[in-house]
Amino acid sequence: PTTDLDYKVADLSLAEFGRKEIELAEHEMPGLMSIRAEYAAAQPLAGARITGSLHMTVQTAVLIETLAALGAEVRWASCNIFSTQDHAAAAVVVGPEGTPEHPRGVPVFAWKGETLEEYWWCTEQALTWANTPTGGPNMILDDGGDATVLVHKGVEYEKAGAAPSPDTADNEEHRVILELLNRTLTENPQKWTQAASEIRGVTEETTTGVHRLYEMFQAGDLLFPAINVNDSVTKSKFDNKYGCRHSLIDGINRATDTLIGGKTVVVCGYGDVGKGSAESLRGQGARVIITEIDPICALQAAMDGYQVARLEDVVETADIFITTTGNKDIILASDMARMKHQAIVGNIGHFDNEIDIAGLAAVPGIVKDEVKPQVHTWTFPDGKKLIVLSEGRLLNLGNATGHPSFVMSNSFANQTIAQIELFTKTEEYPVGVYVLPKHLDEKVARLHLDALGARLTELRPEQAAYIGVQVEGPYKPDHYRY
C-alpha cells in the first residue's frame, strides 16, 4: 500500500463518485475484467513500471486498475488538457482501499482544464520515477505519442548537448516543450537517455500516434519497439467508428443542445472516425456532407448515401462542421469567415491543428467569449458569431466524456495484451512497429460476445478444411480488411 503517493488531481473528495462510476464501468468492460481474472495468478506485469499518457476517464481508470491487478506499477497523465474526468482521476489516486485522507491507489497527474505548461509538467511527472535505476518507466502506454515523443526529443537534445531555444518555437506548445527540455538538460543532462535505456517498449492507442511512430521508425530514430494497438481490428474498427458514433453527438449535445435533425453537417474525413461520426449525425436526422481527399473513402461515402463535396462549396450553407482527419489546416480562418451566423465548429481528430484557431484569433476585431468551459463564441466585427467547441481539441472528450465503457473495453483489452506481449517477450520484438497477431484480435472480440448475448457459430472441421483455416482461428488472412 502506498501512503506517500505523489499525485496532482483536482479534488480527492470526488473519489467516492468516481469509484461508483468505475464499478458500473467494470460490468460494461468484460474484456478487461476477464483479462484481469485470467492473469490474476500469473501476474505477468510484475516488475513493469508503466507510464501512461491517455485520457484520464472512468474507462481509463478500469484500464489502470487492470494493469495494477496484473502486477504493474503505474504512473498516469492525460493526453489532452480537457479530457480528464476529475472524479475518475481522484478515484484512481485514492484506490479501492484508500480514503481521500490516506490515498493508496496510483499516482495520477491530470485534471480537466490544464494549461499547456501544466499538461507537459504532468507528462513529465508521469515519466519520472523515484527510487528506480534509471528514474524512468520501463514501459509506456501512449495515446497520440506525446510521452514517447517527449522521451525521444529529450534523448535527441541530450545527445546534441543542447536543446533549441524556446524563442525558436513555431507555436505556443512547442515553446512549452522546449522550455521543459532546456530545464531537464540543466537539471540532469542524462535524464531522458537514462530513461530510454530501460524502456522495453510502447503500446500506442491512436491513429495519429501510430503515424508518428512509423515516421520515427522510418527515419531510424525509434529507440524502442512499439505495438500499434490502433490497427487491431477490435480497436480502430470499433473505438474509432462506434465509439465516435456515440461520443461525437454526445459532445455536440452537451455543448450546445442544438437540434441536429434537419441541420446540414459537414464531416471532413471519412476514415474510421469519419464513418462513425457521419452515421451518428445521420441517425439524428442531419443532412451530412463529406469532404475527402482519398478517392476510395470518398467513393465509400457516396455509396453510403452521403453527398461528397469540397468545403469551399458548402461552407456558407452548412450549420455544423466536424473535422475527423488527423491532418492539419482542414478548416482555415478564411473558411470560418464565410460560415453562417452561429455555425458550430468542432474537431474529433487527435490534435488541435485541424481547425485554425490561431488564425481565427488573429482576425482583426474578432471577440472571443466563454459561454461555459470548452464552449466559446467568436464574434466577427459584423456581428456574426461562430460557436467553437473545446477550442478545436477533440470535442467528444472535451465537451462530453469520450467513448463509453463497452467499446473502450475492446481498445483497452488490446492495450493490456500488448503491454503483456512487449513486457514479457521483449526479445521477440526488435525495434520496430508491430500489430498484435490476429488470434489475439479475435480473442478480444470473443471476450465481448457473451455480454451482448451473441452466440457464435462453431466451424465444423470439414468446413474449416474447406476454407483453409483452423477450427479455433484465425479466420481471416492478415490482409483481410473487415
* Candidate list 40, 293, 299, 465; residue touching ligand NAI; CB under 6 A: 293
Question: Binding pattern to ligand NAI, positions 181-210, x when CB under 6 A?
Answer: -------------------------xxx--
Which amino acid would we find at residue 131?
N
Q: Which residues of 463-481 are buried (b: 16+ CB within 10 A; e: fewer)?
A: ebeeeeeeeeeeeeeeeee
Is residue 411 part of the contact set for ligand NAI (CB under 6 A)?
A: no
Q: In a 10 Å sphere around its CB, with 0-12 CB exposed, 13-18 middle and 19+ buried, how is residue 206 labelled?
A: buried
CB 240 within 8 A of CB 256: no
Q: How far apart are CA 64 and CA 55, in angstroms?
A: 11
Q: Which is nearer to ligand NAI, 184 or 240 (CB)?
A: 240
Is residue 103 part of the contact set for ligand NAI (CB under 6 A)?
A: no
* Candidate list 80, 325, 390, 410; residue touching ligand NAI; CB under 6 A: 325
Q: In a 10 Å sphere around its CB, with 0-12 CB exposed, 13-18 middle and 19+ buried, how is residue 4 labelled?
A: exposed
Q: How far apart are CA 20 and CA 67, in angstroms?
A: 20
Is residue 264 part of the contact set for ligand NAI (CB under 6 A)?
A: no
Which range touches ligand NAI (CB under 6 A), out of 114-122, 212-220, 321-329, 434-442? 321-329
Is residue 327 part of the contact set for ligand NAI (CB under 6 A)?
A: yes
Given the residues 53, 125, 158, 244, the one annotated as active site: 244
Is residue 271 part of the contact set for ligand NAI (CB under 6 A)?
A: yes
Is residue 349 part of the contact set for ligand NAI (CB under 6 A)?
A: yes
Listed in order, strand segments (DSSP E) in 41-183 are 49-53, 73-77, 108-109, 139-142
In the bound complex, what is the minimum distance in angstroms from residue 455's beta carbon to ligand NAI? 30
Is residue 277 part of the contact set for ligand NAI (CB under 6 A)?
A: no
Given the residues 138, 232, 236, 240, the one annotated as active site: 240
* Candidate list 39, 76, 119, 270; residue touching ligand NAI; CB under 6 A: 270
Is residue 239 annotated as part of the catalytic site, yes or no? yes
Tell me the sheet residues that pair with 202: 140, 226
Given the residues 80, 405, 409, 411, the one annotated as active site: 411
Which range touches ligand NAI (CB under 6 A), out of 19-27, 290-298, 337-345, 420-428? 290-298
* Candidate list 114, 292, 352, 441; residue touching ligand NAI; CB under 6 A: 292
Is residue 353 part of the contact set for ligand NAI (CB under 6 A)?
A: no
Given the residues 21, 28, 55, 232, the one annotated as active site: 55
Is residue 291 part of the contact set for ligand NAI (CB under 6 A)?
A: yes
Is residue 408 part of the contact set for ligand NAI (CB under 6 A)?
A: no
Phi-psi region of 419 (alpha: psi -120 to 50; beta: other; left: phi over 0): alpha
Q: How far apart are CA 346 and CA 252, in angstroms?
A: 8
Q: Which helix (H) or strand (E) holds 462?
A: helix 461-467
335 annotated as a binding-site residue: no
* Candidate list 148, 236, 390, 416; residue touching ligand NAI; CB under 6 A: 236
Q: How far apart are CA 421 and CA 424, in angstroms?
A: 6
How far the first Cα of the chain sits from its last, in Å, is 45
Catalytic positions, please? 55, 78, 83, 143, 205, 230, 235, 239-240, 244, 350, 403, 411, 415
Residues that bind ligand NAI (CB under 6 A): 206-208, 236, 239-240, 243-244, 268-274, 291-294, 297, 324-327, 330, 348-350, 394, 396, 403
